[in-house]
Each structure stands twice: as structure tokens, then as C-alpha cells.
Structure 1
Amino acid sequence: IFIDSLLKFVDFNQVSINDSLVMKINPGTMLDFNAIAQGYSVDVLALFLEEKGIENYMVEVGGELRVKGVNKNDTLWRVGIDKPIENNRERELQAIISLENSSLATSGNYRKFYEKDGVKYSHTINPLTGYPVQHSLLSVTVIAPTCALADAYATAFMVLGLEKSKQIVENNPDLEAFFIYSNEKNEMETFATKQIRKFIELNDTK
């Protein structure tokens, strides 16, 4: 099977949704919502807690999370962002973000990859080409009103790359993001959108 022959199945315009009915124009098209599954699960659990009258909580599933209120120290919830390096077993942090009544999801290519002949191939696939993405973005953390939304955008941004992702965030007032990427010298750099810069503590150690 050639990758090019499968691209015709990757088109959401071939899927229509009417109430509870899902119709596929091409029977070979498959729907996979794994990219937002953890984020959606977080939202379901968070709403359950709110229905029970719980005003302060942090719900986390697989690194995606949603917070409300304050922690036991009566301060904002603080979340560590891993440095995107291989074998980061001791969880060296790139930054710490303080969250207030919001959701957070992180996506990256530094843990899941395939290596052949000394070349690393990302697990993130570009749906336009069918091949692993190739750009400088190592990790992106998205803050949004819901965790499913944050999870979806984090995954999409890992496909789009840094510049296109920054444009989307700038045009969407509900989103904030923290990017970790490689510059032309293969050195790690970061970029945080304006509104969350005051809530981020960077770890500048190399």
C-alpha cells in the first residue's frame, strides 16, 4: 500500500453529521478521536465535580488537565512543563505555569518517534502529505476554556508548526500558548503568548 493512495480517505468534508447519524461518503474513511480523548475525559470529570458543588479542584488525565479555584495553599494551581528532551526521566522542567479556572494540554514529538538510519521521524503525521511532520516545533502547551479544546489545538499545532500556530492563537481570544522550538543553531528557545507571560516561570538552566 502506497501512502499517496490513502490520502483520499483523509478528508473531513467526506463526513456529514446529522443529529445522531454519521455518514461517510467514502467507506474507507475512519474517524479517530484519540487526539482529544484525554482532554474530553478531563472535562467530563471536572463537570461532575462542579455538579457536586466542588469549587476547588485539579483534574488530570495523562498530562492534560483542568483547574478551578485554588490549591490547598490558597494559591493558583501550578503546572510544570517538561523540557522536551529524550530520556527526561527525572522530569527536568522547562517552565511552570500558574493556572486560573482554565484547561491545559501539551503535545510534543520528543518522546514518540521512529528512528531509521540515524534519522528521527515524528509520530505526528501531516494529513496533507501522509508523512511525519518536519519542522522546528518540539512542544506546545495550549490553555483554553475546556480541556478537549486545548487538546485538539495542541495536536493541530504540532502539525502546523510554530508560525502558523502563533497566528491562530493571536486571532483567537480564547486561546493562549507556550511553544518550545529549535532555532537555526539547533538551540532550544521558547515563546509565550502575551496574556500568559506573567503566569510563567522559566527554567533557564541548560
Structure 2
Amino acid sequence: MQNKINFILLLFLISYSGISQKELMFVEGFAQGTTYHITYLDTNERFFKKEIDSILHDFDLSVSTYNPNSIISKINSNQENVELDNYFVTCFNKAKEIYKTTKGAFDPTVYPLVNAWGFGPGKKEKIDSKKIDSILRFVGFDLIKIKSNRIIKKDPRVCLDFNAFAQGYSVDVIAEFLNSKGITSYIVEIGGEVYVKGKMLDGSNWIIAIEKPIDNKAAENPALITINLDGFAIATSGNYRKYSIENGVKYAHHIDPKTGYPAKNNLLSVSVVSKKCITSDANATGILVMGLEKAKKFLKKHTELDALLIYSDDTGNYQYYETPNFNLFRKKE
């Protein structure tokens, strides 16, 4: 999994006299092959790590392709009578929605291609045009549906991969849990996807940083810009964290469902802000696959999304495109 956004909490804010450090709660751990960090304000000083770990464990048992006993893994291996849960159904329905709006740029049935290129749990295969063409015959989200709470495939080789947006959805799930506990100010980050609600007790905003899209598999990159959110989620997809290099050629892990090859365009990073992290995450993936010009047209049509696109020009320098309202989220000095 990739770390796609760094979030920065200005902890010096708690030093002002009106805030008790005991009210600022931290929970962190591991889930979905990555880390999570959750910070929230609670005058009752409740520590929710056990409950959060339990939720994320159940989430993995539903939609993680890295867990052979998960619902999605059972479906991919064509086990019979697999019952679907709410996590899986929500992911499936959102995937169908984004598949349609992005005209197929976002497609979870690329899973066999993801594996073939060595970006999934499967073993990397030898890639040539014949291999790609053979796999493309059973790639397409119109080849699979839900009926009576069961998956129906037109071809048994069709497989699903929700990893491109499941982390975003898990952020929403944890946010809903915190809401149910009466927590009104928090920041949830899982694998770089973030949802923020409320403010610090002194009225200051939680602060999130979007990093520079520098090729770097192991560590955090320097911050490019910082933004403030309240009641919004942000997810970033980029080609700088998970990639391979063969014979001097870089192959990013975002697969174009139409060609079967890693998406090749000048987009380096796509950050999407919306009301739900599952929406931000799925759209960020689809937009990155589209490329810059199609992305601009898509975003002008889908004004419910705000986005920052970072791309390289002919000389290799960073250039930026942002939707009209994205500037409203930029950190005010």
C-alpha cells in the first residue's frame, strides 16, 4: 500500500491554557498493509483503539485481497454461496457508480492485470501484447453484478480489486464510529487517506499537507502545500510511491483498464476533496488514469469534487491545475 498524503497536526496548539492535553486522544496502529493515525478531542478521555482495531479487522475480512479468507478473495477464487456484507456491497456499488461516471477509467476488475504486472499479491508474470489481450477479455465491470446478495459473473475469471479505494472507505467507517460516540472534532488518516471534522478547542483548524510527487517508495516526501478541512475528506493518487523500473522504463501501478498497461500520461499526482473519503479515493484513481485533458473536462462536469492536479510539462517542471473552489481549502496564513 502507498502512503499518499502526509497529515500534519500542529500539536503546539494544545499548549494554550484553555486546552487540556488529556483531552487530545491519539490512536495509531496497522491495517490493510499500512498504518493508521487517528486524533480526536474527548473530554471523557476515552481510548478507542480496541474498538477501532476490531472494526478494521472486520473490514479486512470483507474487502482485502491480501487476506485469503476475505469475502473478496473467496469471490475471486469462485467459492460458492459467498454471503456479502455491508462493507463489500458499499464498495461494489460505489465502484459501479465511479466506473460509469469515469467511463471505465476506474474499474476494479483490473485485478488480474494488477497481479500480472506485479502490483498485487500474485506473482509477476511475463508481459507481452498477447498476454494483455488474453486478460482484457475478462476485464470490465459490466461482466459482474450483485443479485440476491450474491455475486454473478459472466466469466469465472473476472476478479475484483477494491484496494484503489477501500482505504478511503475505511476512513469513512472509522469517522462514522467516532460520530456514534459523540466525538465532534477529529482527524482520521489511514494509508494517507484523510477525513477531518471540527476544529481544535481554540478554534484552530486541523492541518493536512499534500506532498511533492517525487519518486520515493520508502519515505515521506516534503510538503508541497497545506490545506484546512472541516467536514471533508481528501485522497491522493500518484505514480511516485508504487512503481517498478524495467530496462530503464518506469511502470506505475495504476493500470488503464482499456489498454491493460500502466497508465502513461503526464499526471503525477491527483488530490480530490469531497464529503466522503470513498468518493475522493475512487475518483482520484480514475482521474489519474484519464490523463490531464480528460481530467479537466471531467472535473468541470463533476462540481461536487474539488481537486489539485500536479503534472509535468515538456521540460519536466511541475505544473498545477486546480478546480475553482480548491483554493478555499488552502491554509490561510
Query: In structure 2, what is the equivalent of residue 9 of structure 1?
Result: 138
Query: In structure 1, what is the equivalent of residue 191 of structure 2?
Result: 62
Which residue among 260, 264, 267 is the counterpart of 1:134?
264
- Say whether 1:24 aligns with 2:153: yes
Cα drift, residue 200 of structure 1: 2.1
Which residue among 290, 293, 296 is the counterpart of 1:160?
290
Which residue among 95, 98, 112 is the counterpart of 2:228?
98
Query: In structure 2, what is the equivalent of residue 144 of structure 1?
Result: 274
Cα drift, residue 2 of structure 1: 0.9
Query: In structure 2, what is the equivalent of residue 193 of structure 1?
Result: 323
- TM-score normalised per structure 1: 0.92
Query: Using the alignment, how far apart are the partners of 2:148 and 2:131 within structure 1?
Result: 35
SS in 2 for 1:121: strand
SS in 2 for 1:9: coil
Query: In structure 1, what is the equivalent of residue 209 of structure 2?
Result: 80
Query: Using the alignment, how far apart are the partners of 2:184 and 2:296 within structure 1?
Result: 33
Cα drift, residue 91 of structure 1: 2.9
Q: Measured at CA, do residues 185 and 73 of structure 1 come closer, stay the same or move farther in structure 2, by a change above 3 Å? A: farther
SS in 2 for 1:2: helix
Tell me the number of residue pairs that the alignment of Structure 1 and Structure 2 aligns: 202
Q: Per-residue CA shift, 1:50-102, capped at 9, x if unaligned? A: 11111111111011011111135422221100101124846311111111210
Q: Which amino acid aligns with 1:14?
A: L
Q: Which amino acid aligns with 1:82?
A: E
Cα drift, residue 150 of structure 1: 0.6
Q: Per-residue CA shift, 1:148-195, capped at 9, x if unaligned? A: 111100111111112212222221222100111101211111121111
Q: Which amino acid aligns with 2:287?
A: F
- TM-score normalised per structure 2: 0.58
- Say whether 1:48 aligns with 2:181: no
Cα drift, residue 18 of structure 1: 2.4
Identity of aligned residues (%): 44
SS in 1 for 2:265: coil
Query: In structure 2, what is the equivalent of residue 170 of structure 1?
Result: 300
Structure with the larger strand share: 1
Query: Using the alignment, how far apart are the partners of 1:115 and 1:2 within structure 2?
Result: 19
Q: Which amino acid aligns with 1:137?
A: L
Q: Per-residue CA shift, 1:20-69, capped at 9, x if unaligned? A: 12100100000111111111110110001111111111111011011111
Runs of 4+ off more than 4 Å: none
Query: Using the alignment, how far apart are the partners of 1:35 and 1:62 within structure 2?
Result: 11
Structure with the larger helix share: 2
Query: Using the alignment, how far apart are the partners of 1:36 and 1:19 within structure 2?
Result: 24
Cα drift, residue 17 of structure 1: 1.5
Residue pair 2:207, 2:331 contacting (<8 A) in 1 also: no
Query: Using the alignment, how far apart are the partners of 2:260 and 2:220 within structure 1?
Result: 34
Query: In structure 2, what is the equivalent of residue 71 of structure 1?
Result: 200
In the alignment, structure 2 segments of 5+ residues that lack a partner are 1-129
Of stretches 178-187 and 91-100 in structure 1, the one that deviates more from structure 2 is 91-100
SS in 1 for 2:165: helix
SS in 2 for 1:194: coil
Of stretches 65-74 and 92-101 in structure 1, the one that deviates more from structure 2 is 65-74
Rg comparison, structure with higher value: 2
Of stretches 162-171 and 31-40 in structure 1, the one that deviates more from structure 2 is 162-171
In the alignment, structure 1 segments of 5+ residues that lack a partner are none
Query: Using the alignment, how far apart are the partners of 2:279 and 2:188 within structure 1?
Result: 15
